[in-house]
Structure 1
């Protein structure tokens, strides 16, 4: 597939029809369009399927089949899109720190993107679940930065950078990094761990997320659906049956599965429900 057809098909998937000249506006526009239209999800892992992060496989899954994926799929695809558009872009290695104390060392199983524009470094990340960026943030320390959704900042402590998001209760770490590049072989290795290791958090829970309109977020973790407004306040509900789960995936995330689909994870405990 030539670059024009690749980009035409990708832009049709995310609903973008604007300029293709590399700029900060273009980077911001397609970052937002991507996370609104291509959900973050780990469902193939729970279906026992192999996660192939080659560009052909990711394009087929996320664009042609209209599925979602996690960071190695999402940011791998976005890396190719930005390269084909003419951006100077580098994949950066990171450790996800959401819900993790600083004294805990998570595996280095995340990748996000560094983009150089007119001598300034920007970060974009369309693959970190319910806090995926909806516009790029600048590589500048200790400065609050507004995005299309939450406020962000980057702090530097103990020779490490921390990307943080501002929630109603305060600043929360998203990921930790050192600006080290993550080449393809490291992404392949980390993807194997993420999708196969018994202690990977993608093995014991169902996770689906996408950005909504007006600063809203939709996140499904196991059976809990959270609809968060632009101020960070969440309305939560519990999915009561496998049939309701399939319906929610379609209505909230535009993911279509047969009604008899069974996601294999300890996070879904339907048999423990009390039936009136």
Structure 2
């Protein structure tokens, strides 16, 4: 994967104060800060704009321009940050099963990270939208691991791993993957599919998410939802492009792109 970035600018973007080091506290802390500051969003595919994965483009968009992105953008940026600090990082690729049957055969369209630290392997993933991992998981099967939000766990069978989170007392699989290191070209191909193919959700739906210490916020077209642990979800129906713009800017902290067709595209979203 690609090289280093302006670490100081990134730390300012995520609101990190103090020093960083290649240790577990930094890995956990940066993952939490990242998902609170840099939202998941798919405005580029929605507007028919390219999604660039080279490090300068990621830094420009997610760090300097106040934008967000989806898994490939988020985790490639996070990998560059971790590598700049001194972590040993490799990329994996997964088949999403969230809101699919357990035996579904889906394409490899999700990126996550493997981090080697102090003789152990950890998984980090700042790019899974509304059910994003807040922190890092030890690469160990069959144990419940606490996070700042729901508990997570990993299951393994015959070399296939499943990432699960517990929602309202029930375990749900987010995705399945193996531990083979993924090459950059595989992310480029998967990124092209999810950003342009008509079978992908991203070119035809607005999706955004942001997770803070006390809530998960998500947006699917006109429906804005806020989830807090132990409480019923708050659902808000947004009427038009003006209300969607306001939520994107205020709840998701997005600096919206200057695009002549943005309002027209937001008004045409499926109900």
Q: TM-score, normalised by structure 2?
A: 0.93
In 1, distance between residues paired with 2:154 and 2:103? 19
Question: Cα offset for 1:242?
Answer: 1.4
Task: Give 3-state SS (helix, strand or coil) of 2:263's partner.
Answer: coil
Give, in angstroms, the shift of residue 118 of structure 1.
Answer: 1.2
In 1, Cα distance between the equivalents of 2:159 and 2:268?
Answer: 36
Q: Does 1:137 align with 2:137?
A: yes
| Cα deviation 1:62-108 (Å, max 9, x = unaligned) | 00101000011000000111111100111011111110102321110
Residue 241 of structure 1 corresponds to which residue in structure 2? 240
Within 5 A, what are the aligned runs for 1:204-223? 204-214=204-214, 216-223=215-222
Moved more, 58-67 or 205-214: 205-214
**Change over 3 Å in CA distance of 1:232–1:163 after alignment to 2:** farther
1:171 aligns with 2:171: yes
Where do residues 227-266 of structure 1 align in structure 2 (5 Å cutoff)?
227-231=226-230, 233-257=232-256, 261-262=262-263, 264=265
Deviations 1:30-65 (A, max 9, x none): 000000000000111111101111111111000010
Contact 1:208 1:221 in 2 (8 A): yes
Tell me the CA shift for residue 233 of structure 1: 3.6
Residue matched to 1:268: 269
Equivalent positions of 1:189-200 (< 5 A) are: 189-200=189-200
Q: 1:12 to 1:43 in 2, by over 3 A?
A: same
Q: Where do 5+ consecutive residues of structure 1 fail to align?
A: 271-276
CA distance in 1, matches of 2:57, 2:91: 19
16-25 vs 258-267, which deviates more? 258-267
Counterpart CA distance in 1 for 2:43 and 2:128 is: 15
Moved more, 24-33 or 236-245: 236-245
Query: How far apart are residue 16 of structure 1 and its match?
Result: 0.4
Secondary structure at 2:262 match in 1: coil
Q: Deviations over 1:141-171 (max 9, x none)?
A: 1110001111100012454110001000511
* C-alpha displacement of 1:254: 1.2
Residue 56 of structure 1: aligned partner: 56
Contact 1:203 1:265 in 2 (8 A): no
* 3-state SS of 1:134 partner: coil
More deviation in 130-139 or 68-77?
130-139
For these two proteins, the number of residue pairs brought into alignment is: 267
Answer whether contact 1:47 1:263 (CA < 8 A) is retained: no
Distance 1:37 1:126 in 2: 11
Corresponding residue of 1:274: none
Aligned to 1:102: 102
Offset at residue 19 of structure 1 (A): 2.3
CA gap of 1:182–1:261, structure 2 versus 1, over 3 A, is same
